[in-house]
Amino acid sequence: MERVLSPEDARLVEGLRAGDEAAFAALMRMYGAGMLRVAQMYVSSRAVAEEVVQEAWLGVLKGIDRFEGRSSLKTWVFRIVANTAKTRGVREARSIPFSSLGDGEGEAAVSPERFLGDGERFPGHWAVPPASWAGMPETRLLATETMSVIRRAIDRLPSSQRAVLTLRDVEGLSAEEVCNALDLTETNGRVLLHRARAKVRAALEEHLR
Amino acid sequence: MRLDRELACRDVVELVTAYLDDALAPGDRERFEEHLVFCDGCENYLDQMRATIRLTGRVEHQLPAELEAQLLEAFRGWRAN
């Protein structure tokens, strides 16, 4: 059996098993906000999503003795919140038609006006190409203001795109882990991620002009 | 090079995530990379997407204080049982 538990994870697992509040608080602060976003993909309101997160933590606490470290603690925690939210979503009798959640089919990554039209000599090529950010100072890229722009862009995403982006680009789970946790096909997961990234990029481009 | 096989920038921008995940078929990957060689706009787009991913990973996300307090309360309740 492959064990991938990092020393930090091992300490946290031990802490949780011992009922250590500091370990719980640390985990909650690391993953709580991401868990809330995952929950929102499956349930209809913020209030219910918060209940899901509470329920998921109880699941984590109950299950921690059986946690074997075959995935990272993070991946395991996110699988639990996704499963809790799916169960709750079914109880809420909310079917999840992807179209209504913004699966991104038919959406363009870049606004069509940025490209030359079909009547032009090079149809589909850039009319207004993106600028290079190579000379952009790191202080500007990492400024509080830039971070707020990204956070707001993420908040505006449709819930399924937000959940996928959170797990991939914020939490750093692999494509496979995300698709498994959220029951997405590889293609579907990639489309959602691409749409989400494209929107965050567009918000950044606007801000950094 | 056959023109009808050439990708337009409009197509290239849709392939970026698949490219970064190394999920393009070998032929498509080749066409994608060929396009980047002569297209500064798409090269910048790819670089901007890479920067977006990197910066997204740097954003801090916090739970609402109220929910945090509730969760700690629930934890204490669970531990007491």
Does A56 fall in a domain? yes
Shortest Cα distance from B29 to chain A (angstroms)? 16
Q: Domain boundary at A50, A66, A91, which?
A: A91
Inform me whether the pLDDT recorded for B1 exceeds 50: no
Inform me whether the pLDDT recorded for A19 exceeds 70: yes
| Same domain membership, residue A111 and residue A203 | yes
Shortest Cα distance from A44 to chain B (angstroms)? 18
| Same domain membership, residue A183 and residue A113 | yes
Mean pLDDT of A64-76: 93
pLDDT given at position A163: 97
What residues contact A78, with CB distance under 8 A and at least 6 apart?
A31, A34, A35, A38, A167, A171, A173, A177, A181
Q: Domain boundary at A38, A64, A91, which?
A: A91
Burial class (CB within 10 angstroms; exposed 0-12, middle 13-18, buried 19+) of A52 = buried
CATH of the domain at A121: 1.10.10.10
- Taking only the tens place, the pLDDT of each residue in A104-162 is 667 899 999 999 998 888 899 999 999 999 999 999 999 999 999 999 999 999 999 99
Quick one: tokens of A9? 């994870």
On chain B, the residues whose CB falls within 8 A of the CB of A25 are: 72
| Same domain membership, residue A199 and residue A164 | yes
Q: Residue A126's beta-bridge partner residues?
A: A115
Mean pLDDT of A69-85: 95
CATH of the domain at A45: 1.10.1740.10
| Same domain membership, residue A23 and residue A86 | yes
Q: Locate the DSSP E strands across B1-81.
A: none
Find how far residue A204's CA is from the centre of its chain.
18
pLDDT given at position B79: 86
pLDDT band of B81, cuts 50, 70, 90:
confident
Helices (H), chain A: 7-17, 21-40, 46-63, 73-91, 98-101, 138-141, 144-156, 159-165, 175-182, 186-208
| Same domain membership, residue A74 and residue A129 | no
Tokens 């396009």 correspond to B35
| Same domain membership, residue A80 and residue A143 | no
Mean pLDDT of A170-191: 95
On chain B, the residues whose CB falls within 8 A of the CB of A142 are: 55, 58
For chain B, how many structural domains are there in total?
1
For A45, other C-beta atoms within 10 Å of its C-beta total: 10
| Same domain membership, residue A111 and residue A87 | no
Does A149 fall in a domain? yes
Domain that holds residue A114: 107-208
Does A1 fall in a domain? no
pLDDT given at position A115: 95
Inform me whether the pLDDT recorded for B30 exceeds 60: yes
For chain A, how many structural domains are there in total?
2
Domain that holds residue B56: 3-80
pLDDT band of B3, cuts 50, 70, 90:
very low
Does A151 fall in a domain? yes
Query: B51 and A112 in contact by Cβ < 8 A?
Result: no
| Same domain membership, residue A131 and residue A178 | yes
Query: B8 and A124 in contact by Cβ < 8 A?
Result: yes
pLDDT given at position A99: 40
Query: B48 and A130 in contact by Cβ < 8 A?
Result: yes
CA dist A67 and A63 (Å) reads 6
CATH of the domain at B63: 1.10.10
Does A2 fall in a domain? no
Mean pLDDT of B39-59: 97
Shortest Cα distance from A33 to chain B (angstroms)? 5
pLDDT given at position A3: 61
Does any CB of chain B come closer than 8 Å to the CB of residue A34?
Answer: yes
| Same domain membership, residue A86 and residue A49 | yes
CA dist A116 and A126 (Å) reads 6
What percent of chain A has pLDDT above 90?
A: 83
Does A97 fall in a domain? no
| Same domain membership, residue A154 and residue A201 | yes
pLDDT given at position B66: 94
Facing B9 at nearest CB: one of A124, A142, A190: A124
Q: Domain boundary at A23, A58, A91, which?
A: A91
10-49 in chain B: CB under 8 A from chain A: 10-11, 13-14, 16-18, 21, 23, 39-42, 44-45, 47-49
Does any CB of chain B come closer than 8 Å to the CB of residue A46?
Answer: no
On chain B, the residues whose CB falls within 8 A of the CB of A172 are: 57
Mark B38-60 as b/e (b = at least 16 C-beta within 10 Å). ebebbbbbbebbebbbebbeebe
- Report ipTM for this prediction: 0.91
Quick one: tokens of A103? 């699966």
Does any CB of chain A come closer than 8 Å to the CB of residue B73?
Answer: no
